[in-house]
Amino acid sequence: MIGRLNHVAIAVPDLEAAADQYRNALGANVGAPQDEPDHGVTVIFIELPNTKIELLYPLGEDSPINGFLEKNPAGGIHHVCYEVEDIIAARDHLKESGARVLGSGEPKIGAHGKPVLFLHPKDFNGCLVELEQV
């Protein structure tokens, strides 16, 4: 059901410093910051030959990233994102299998302009999983 790894998301306490590190120390192709108010984050995508890294920074006081950074002040891996062809079929299959879909269970539009869902980390070995329809 899942396709390729779309991205690994890393929550960071300083978005520009993290972008500079990838740009200058690693020589990566670093995109521009984009605010995602529906998700409470500002993101920067780093393009790699086989996937992407998504830097996450809180957007506003109600950002879900704030709690993560309180527990992990230096930042850290926040989630992995896998591609699926049909997000509704994937959601329904996962729910039938006992997995919990976070939020309302209805897809939201993600940073790539495509439908996304998040799955409870307790159902996936402590890893928050994002599914993105391609």
- Distant-in-sequence, close-in-space partners of 127: CB < 8 Å, separation ≥ 6: 79, 80, 121
Active site residue 130: yes
Q: Which of 36, 83, 106, 130 is catalytic?
A: 130
Cite the active site residues. 130
